């Protein structure tokens, strides 16, 4: 198995990130800043982790002179502000310094970039939300980088699998041996079971892509790399919009007929009117509720899992004794194991429900109801 160069590279990258970030997380929580108690600091750390950010911050430490150093990878910042503005996020020094490009000054404030005057003043409304102008932010954030990495991993992994069928006489090689049964499971037990023999092939690329995309990103979220991509509502919304579009654009005539005329020939038209006043709005709302529940389910599950694990890790630093800390370590370990299951389960449920909706949309009118009247 280790003879596969691709797999070896993949494992190398994983171990590299894993090693770096274990170190990163533990140092950052335990470093106490002046004037903040531990609980608020842990709270802020969790809030920071759940959000997207403009750099990979691995850890920070205080040296002997009392200065705080941050260690991490900067990412490019791309702004559209009456023209393209590009600079490295390291110029912000984690929000401590302003960046001046031409006539404009930018400030990184709570993970968002604002336009300020030359002193960096932030104005607030009564709810303590910043009211400064925001330039259009197209930056490569942490989530964008992880999506690109996952995309590349998937591309090379599955291209390698497809190629090994051709070169190896129809038998998968290496990592493909692990993924082949999963792909077959999605084909046989999800796609064929819900969409049917005739039409499932059209939807297979989307179902496979969405399953592995969500699964891989969920698993990356569990590494201490500090990425929370599927726990970001913008990304789950994008995935759900794709399902919504595919469902409705590939829908058959029967599907729309069932939507606006659910009872069909089973009733005379004058009996249908009072029923349809209630039924049709519900059916139309259902069109939007289906993808909405998809996006909320994935987002909330991943968000909740991250909060629970991070809180349990934070408890270790609050207890500061042998019994409490080791208990919360054990709990964090157990929850992490459950989260591995949840990572697969959420990918499976997203795929399964998408396939179900596609199945509804592509149903054929093969059963003609006998008219009663």
Residues binding other proteins (CB under 8 A): 189, 193, 293-294, 296-297, 300-301, 304, 345, 348-349, 352-353, 356
Quickly count: other Cβ atoms within 10 Å of residue 334's Cβ. Answer: 11
Q: Which is closer to other proteins, CB of 139 or CB of 301?
A: 301
Q: Which is closer to other proteins, CB of 146 or CB of 295?
A: 295
- Here the tokens at position 278 are 């209630």
Q: What's the min distance (Å) between Cβ of 365 and other proteins? A: 25
Q: Distance between CA 275 and CA 197 in Å, rounded?
A: 35
Q: What is the DSSP letter of 251?
A: -
Using alpha carbons, list the distances in angstroms from residue 132 to 103, 113, 289. Answer: 16, 10, 35
Q: Which is closer to other proteins, CB of 106 or CB of 357?
A: 357
- Here the tokens at position 201 are 């092939």
Using alpha carbons, list the distances in angstroms from residue 93 to 20, 26, 109, 127, 326. Answer: 20, 21, 12, 27, 36
Alpha helices in the chain (DSSP H): 5-30, 38-50, 142-167, 176-185, 193-195, 200-222, 233-249, 253-260, 269-319, 322-361
Q: What's the min distance (Å) between Cβ of 292 and other proteins? A: 8
Q: Are the beta carbons of 236 and 230 closer than 8 angstroms?
A: yes
173 in helix, strand or coil? coil
List the one residue out of 121, 118, 119 whose CA is nearest residue 103. Answer: 118
Q: Which is closer to other proteins, CB of 44 or CB of 189?
A: 189
Q: Distance between CA 244 and CA 267 in Å, rounded?
A: 31
Q: What's the min distance (Å) between Cβ of 208 and other proteins? A: 18
Q: What's the min distance (Å) between Cβ of 286 and other proteins? A: 12
Q: What's the min distance (Å) between Cβ of 300 and other proteins? A: 4
Beta-bridge mates of residue 80: 84, 136
Question: H-helix or E-strand containing 109?
Answer: strand 104-109
Q: What's the min distance (Å) between Cβ of 352 and other proteins? A: 6
Q: Which is closer to other proteins, CB of 282 or CB of 300?
A: 300
Q: What's the min distance (Å) between Cβ of 137 and other proteins? A: 22
Q: Which is closer to other proteins, CB of 144 or CB of 345?
A: 345
Name residue, tokens 């005057």.
Answer: 117
Q: Which is closer to other proteins, CB of 1 or CB of 234?
A: 234
Q: Which is closer to other proteins, CB of 131 or CB of 293?
A: 293
Q: Distance between CA 230 and CA 222 in Å, rounded?
A: 11
Q: What's the min distance (Å) between Cβ of 211 and other proteins? A: 14
């Amino acid at each position: 198995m280790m003879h596969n160069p691709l797999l070896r590279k993949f494992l190398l990258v994983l171990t590299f990130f894993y090693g770096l970030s274990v170190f990163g997380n533990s140092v950052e929580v335990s470093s106490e800043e002046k004037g903040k108690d531990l609980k608020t600091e842990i709270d802020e750390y969790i809030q920071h982790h759940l959000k997207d950010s403009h750099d990979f911050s691995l850890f920070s430490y205080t040296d002997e002179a009392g200065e705080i150093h941050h260690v991490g990878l900067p990412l490019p910042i791309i702004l559209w502000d009456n023209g393209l503005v590009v600079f490295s996020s390291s110029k912000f020094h984690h929000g401590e310094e302003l960046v001046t490009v031409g006539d404009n000054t930018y400030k990184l404030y709570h993970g968002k970039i604002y336009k300020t005057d030359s002193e960096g003043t932030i104005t607030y409304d009564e709810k303590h939300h910043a009211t400064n102008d925001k330039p259009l932010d197209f930056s490569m954030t942490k989530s964008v980088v992880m999506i690109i990495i996952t995309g590349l991993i998937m591309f090379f992994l599955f291209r390698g699998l497809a190629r090994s069928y051709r070169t190896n006489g129809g038998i998968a090689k290496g990592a493909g041996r692990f993924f082949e049964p999963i792909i077959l499971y999605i084909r046989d037990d999800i796609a064929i079971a819900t969409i049917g023999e005739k039409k499932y092939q059209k939807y297979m690329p989307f179902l496979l892509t969405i399953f592995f995309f969500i699964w891989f990103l969920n698993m990356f979220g569990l590494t201490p790399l500090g990425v929370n991509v599927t726990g970001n509502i913008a990304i789950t919304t994008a995935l759900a919009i794709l399902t919504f579009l595919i469902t409705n654009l590939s829908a058959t005539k029967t599907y729309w007929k069932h939507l606006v005329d659910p009872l069909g020939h089973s009733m005379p038209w004058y009996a249908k009117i009072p029923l349809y006043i209630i039924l049709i709005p519900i059916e139309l709302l259902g069109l939007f509720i289906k993808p909405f529940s998809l996006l909320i389910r994935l987002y909330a599950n991943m968000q909740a899992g991250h909060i629970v694990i991070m809180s349990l890790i934070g408890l270790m630093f609050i207890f500061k004794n042998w019994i409490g800390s080791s208990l919360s370590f054990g709990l964090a370990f157990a929850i992490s194991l459950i989260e591995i299951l949840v990572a697969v389960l959420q990918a499976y449920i997203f795929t399964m429900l998408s396939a179900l909706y596609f199945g509804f949309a592509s149903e054929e009118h093969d059963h003609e109801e006998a008219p009663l009247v």
